[in-house]
A and B are shown apart, each in its own frame.
Chain A
Amino acid sequence: AQRVTQPEKLLSVFKGAPVELKCNYSYSGSPELFWYVQYSRQRLQLLLRHISRESIKGFTADLNKGETSFHLKKPFAQEEDSAMYYCALRHGGATNKLIFGTGTLLAVQP
C-alpha cells in the first residue's frame, strides 16, 4: 500500500542549528515526492518537489530510493522556518492525487 511516514510530530532546534525532517514512503512504482509547508495563519503551500532538484529557502531534499526516504534538510535553521511540514507522495494514475504524511512541527528557538 502507498504510505508516507513522518516519524516526528515535533522537532525543536535552536537558530543556526542544522535541521532534518524525516520522511519515508512506501510505493511500488517510481515515486514523485513533495514537501508542503504551512506557516502560522497561512495556507498550505508547496515548498519543493524532488523532480525539480531545487533549493527553496535553503531547504533541500534528496530522494533515496534504496532507503525509500525523502528527508528535508537545511544547514542553518532560522526562526522564520518554524512551521508545519508535510511530506507528500503523488498517487499514480490519471490524477494528481497526493498522499500526505501526518506532518512535523518544526519549532526554531532563538
Chain B
Amino acid sequence: NAGVTQTPKFRILKIGQSMTLQCTQDMNHNYMYWYRQDPGMGLKLIYYSVGAGITDKGEVPNGYNVSRSTTEDFPLRLELAAPSQTSVYFCASSYTRVADTQYFGPGTRLTVL
C-alpha cells in the first residue's frame, strides 16, 4: 500500500490564483482530513470527511473548499490564494472514528506571493 499520497510536494502561487491540492489513500479509510501547519504552530484542521459525499468544516475553513466523490480521494481547493494561506498542508486518513490512528501524507508546501 502507498498509504496517503499528496501532490504536489511544493507549489508557489501568485495572489488571486487558484489550485487544487490532491490527496489519495489506498487503505479504504472512511475518514479523511486536511490540516495546515504554520511555522511554530500546531496542525489546524481545515476540513474533514466521514465518508464519500460527506464533508464538514474544521477550525480554519475560510478560503478553502473540499469534495469527496470517492472513498479514495479528498482534494482541497484554494480559490483565491492569499499570502495568509502560505503553509504546509497535510492530508490524513483513519479507518474509524473511535480514537483510531490517523495516517498522514508527506505534505504540500505552498507559498503565496
Interchain CB contact under 8 A, A95 and B99: no
Sample of 5 A–B contacts (CB below 8 Å): A43-B4, A95-B50, A98-B102, A99-B42, A99-B45
CB contacts under 8 Å to A, within B27-57, are 31, 33, 35, 40-45, 48, 50, 56
Query: In the complex, A86→B104 CA distance in Å?
Result: 13
The count of chain A contact residues (Cβ–Cβ below 8 Å) is 23
In the assembled complex, B96 has its CB within 8 A of some CB on chain A? yes
Interchain CB contact under 8 A, A4 and B42: yes
Chain A: minimal CB distance from B84 (Å): 18
Query: In the complex, A18→B113 CA distance in Å?
Result: 44
| Chain A residues within an 8 Å CB radius of B33 | 97-98
Interchain CB contact under 8 A, B102 and A96: yes
Interchain CB contact under 8 A, A96 and B40: no
In the assembled complex, A49 has its CB within 8 A of some CB on chain B? yes
Interchain CB contact under 8 A, B104 and A97: no
Query: In the complex, A101→B44 CA distance in Å?
Result: 9
Closest residue of chain B to A102 (Cβ to Cβ) is B42
Contact of A90 among B56, B99, B105, B107 (CB under 8 A): B99
Query: In the complex, A26→B101 CA distance in Å?
Result: 21
Closest residue of chain B to A100 (Cβ to Cβ) is B42
| Chain A residues within an 8 Å CB radius of B31 | 95-96
In the assembled complex, A51 has its CB within 8 A of some CB on chain B? yes
Query: In the complex, A65→B3 CA distance in Å?
Result: 34
Interchain CB contact under 8 A, A94 and B99: no
6 nearest A-B pairs in the assembled complex, by CB-CB distance: A100-B42, A44-B104, A100-B43, A96-B97, A102-B42, A46-B101
In the complex where A43-B104, A43-B105 touch, is A98 in contact with B45 (Cβ < 8 A)? yes
Query: In the complex, A46→B100 CA distance in Å?
Result: 10
